[in-house]
Structure 1
Amino acid sequence: MNREEILVKISDLYHSQFVHPFPYEDTDQIKADFDREFASLEDEGLNSNFNDYCTLIIITSGYVIKDEAANIPKRQIDLLREGFFQRFPQYSIIATSLKNYPNFHIEYQNHERLRKLLLDYLFSE
């Protein structure tokens, strides 16, 4: 896929897929289902961490869509290189159960797809 095709896919995802509300019901259920595991975490903030992950991707998309990719801060690109479970490994306990939480799973998949497209775009010639 060339750079222009990647940009079209980024724009399509950005404008059509990210109109869903935050999956609070699913994150509440995840926390209930993994209550014991989450209790042992020092810094359990699934909602805020997932929101941070999603926001980074959406903000980066805005730079790319507005043809301002050169202005993306290096730290932002460094964070973009990591998927949710790499950036927040404390949640790896839920990785194999995502299909049990359909709204969260859809949001995760859409953001992950967009994250990978952004990386393809930023590092293509």
Structure 2
Amino acid sequence: MDNIIDQLNEIKNELEKPIPYRDTDKIQVDFRTEFLSLSDEEDCLTGDFNNYCMNIAGSLSYVLAGKTNKVPQGQIEMLQKSFFDSFKQYKFFEDKIEIYNDFFREYKNFEKTRTLLLHLLSK
């Protein structure tokens, strides 16, 4: 458990970077046709990614404050899904995500954190 906490402490600073707006804008331009086919409720990439990241960051703050048992069950349930599982409407660019360096780096950092949190919270 201490090893996971150490890893989470190390990655914490990486998670405090701003959302990669340039990349989310570029994704929306590059996949314009796909985004146009989404309903207004489904078409909010930046907001959806922000919500996804904030759930992970919020759960992390509970854990690092020593309040693992206080993480709300709803947050834990949300942690069980990756971004593309939570927001299936964006699956069309999942296999091209590496092209968008800042977005991909941010995504990988939050995915690593999400996975570590799940390991810790499942114990």
Partner of 2:29: 32
Q: State how far apart, in whole Å, the 2-side matches of 1:87 and 1:76 are.
A: 13
**Offset at residue 22 of structure 1 (A):** 1.2
Q: State how far apart, in whole Å, the 2-side matches of 1:6 and 1:19 are.
A: 19
**Offset at residue 17 of structure 1 (A):** 1.0
Matches within 5 A, 1:2-41: 3-14=1-12, 16-41=13-38
What is the one-letter code of the residue matched to 1:103?
D
Partner of 2:84: 85
**Offset at residue 21 of structure 1 (A):** 1.8
Q: State how far apart, in whole Å, the 2-side matches of 1:70 and 1:26 are.
A: 36
Q: State how far apart, in whole Å, the 2-side matches of 1:78 and 1:72 are.
A: 10
Partner of 1:96: 95
**SS class of match (1:8):** helix
Q: State how far apart, in whole Å, the 2-side matches of 1:95 and 1:88 are.
A: 11
Q: State how far apart, in whole Å, the 2-side matches of 1:20 and 1:70 are.
A: 27
Question: Structure 1: 5+ residue runs without aligned partners?
Answer: none
Partner of 1:74: 73
**Offset at residue 66 of structure 1 (A):** 0.4
Q: TM-score, normalised by structure 2?
A: 0.95
Q: State how far apart, in whole Å, the 1-side matches of 2:61 and 2:100 are.
A: 28
What is the one-letter code of the residue matched to 2:46?
N
Q: State how far apart, in whole Å, the 2-side matches of 1:80 and 1:93 are.
A: 22
Name the % identity.
Answer: 35
